[in-house]
Chains A and B, each alone.
Chain A
Amino acid sequence: AQSVTQLDSHVSVSEGTPVLLRCNYSSSYSPSLFWYVQHPNKGLQLLLKYTSAATLVKGINGFEAEFKKSETSFHLTKPSAHMSDAAEYFCVVSPYTDKLIFGTGTRLQVFP
């Protein structure tokens, strides 16, 4: 069975400092992996996706993630946090093209 584990439930950073949100996956074959963002009381928005092309994936709003098969990781990073980045972030694996399996989420706080 496929699954994802988000290693931190909360991450706090200062504005202008780097962001690292960690995700490990479990899969018996090469997975499709995604990061979604959810702002308070809003729906989810796709940040980026990995589908076995380039291992470094660039997304919207300056975020990127690197697929590392040897470490079974798909960590989300951003060089410089902005106040508007404060939200909940979900790492997601897709075992089939029709279904998504969500991690439990990481809440990112950005302090001025």
Chain B
Amino acid sequence: SQTIHQWPATLVQPVGSPLSLECTVEGTSNPNLYWYRQAAGRGLQLLFYSVGIGQISSEVPQNLSASRPQDRQFILSSKKLLLSDSGFYLCAWRGGPGEQFFGPGTRLTVL
């Protein structure tokens, strides 16, 4: 069966520091992968999605970036974090039409 992993589970970083969040999927090949951010009291905002290695689409302008170095690995990065980057970051992969399966999430606090 397919599983999706995210790490770290929680992270506290100072403003201006770099960021790297990792997502890996097991049990499927060539999945569509997604990064979402969930701010407190708000719904999920799609940040990036990828249909294959090296193929990244950005949904909103921001100081974050994403990369897909391997088929089942999706990385979210930043060179310099802002306070507004705090939130709950979720990785997901596409299952059936319109259906996505989510990882456990990473809670990022920027101080």
| A residues apposed to B, CB below 8 Å | 9, 32, 34, 41-46, 49, 51, 90, 94, 97-100, 102-105
- For B70, list chain A residues within 8 Å (CB): none
**A100 → chain B closest CB, angstroms:** 6
**B105, A42: Cβ atoms closer than 8 Å:** yes
Q: Counting CB contacts under 8 A, is B7 at the interface? A: no
Residues of A within 8 A of B99 (CB): 34, 46, 49
Minimum CB distance partner of A31 in chain B: B98
- Which positions 84-102 of chain B face chain A at CB distance < 8 Å? 88, 90, 92, 94, 97-102
Assess the A100–B98 pair: CB atoms within 8 A.
yes
- A41-B105 contact, Cβ under 8 Å, with A98-B32, A98-B94: yes
| B44 at interface, CB cutoff 8 A | yes
State the total of A-B contacts with C-beta under 8 angstroms. Answer: 55
- If A42-B104, A43-B90, A44-B90 touch, whether A102 touches B98 (CB-CB below 8 Å) is no
Which B32-50 residues sit within 8 Å CB-CB of chain A?
Answer: 32, 41-46, 49
Cα distance A35–B51 when bound, in Å? 24
A45 touches B102 (CB 8 A): yes
Closest to A36 in B: B102
Report the minimum CB–CB distance from A40 to chain B (whole Å).
11
